[in-house]
Structure 1
Amino acid sequence: MPTAVVSRGREWAVGAAPVRWYERVNWWETSRRMPKGNSGVDVEVLQLQVRLGNNSRSALTTMYLQRDGLGGGWRRRESASDAA
């Protein structure tokens, strides 16, 4: 599990236990053929409560990470508030 997230040049420390779940992916929206094996069908997602840097007085904010099926790492999902 990640202990920190680097996003837009800033490091965010995980401040609470992550919440994990799996989502089904609509593979047909991005591919003409179903992926071989089990890759690309289910995606692991984490909800993290993070704070800026190691400042324990910094307010917690929520980030969502999605498991990168190719490299095994994590990538941040853009939230509605990020797009605004």
Structure 2
Amino acid sequence: MIAPQACARELGLSEFTIHRWIRDGKISAVKLSARCTRIDGNSLADYMAANRFVPGEKEAQPDQLKRQKNTAIELAGQA
């Protein structure tokens, strides 16, 4: 069980983001008292694995490709 503050610090996120994930049901947590919440480590690991971001793996969106193609054609026509 992990405190939201420690989780936020380790992930480089705000504590608000961690509490939002809990509220939205993205990660499981247990409320031990009015001011004491603990995050399930397995739930957090599963969420992070399913939503990991690896720079450079994002594919260009179709609109972006179309815009780039049109810009290239316009530039070729000006030459």
Question: Please, what TM-score do these two structures have when normalized by structure 1?
Answer: 0.27
The structure with the greater share of residues assigned to strand is: 1
Larger radius of gyration: 2
The structure with the greater share of residues assigned to helix is: 2
Question: Please, what TM-score do these two structures have when normalized by structure 2?
Answer: 0.28
